Amino acid sequence: MRVALSHNKIDAIPVDFRADPDGSWEYDALARGAGFDERWGQMTVGALTKPFDGFPEGAAVVAFTSGSQCSVALVDCTAG
Please count the residues of the chain: 80
| Alpha helices by DSSP H, the chain | 27-34
Is the overall model pTM greater than 0.75, yes or no?
yes
Domain boundaries, the chain: 2-43+56-76
pLDDT of residue 68: 84
pLDDT along the chain (80 residues), means of 10: 92 96 91 86 94 97 89 88
How many angstroms separate the CA atoms of 63 and 42, rounded? 8
pLDDT of residue 66: 83
Contacts (Cβ under 8 Å, ≥6 apart) of 8: 53, 72
Chain centre distance of CA 23: 13
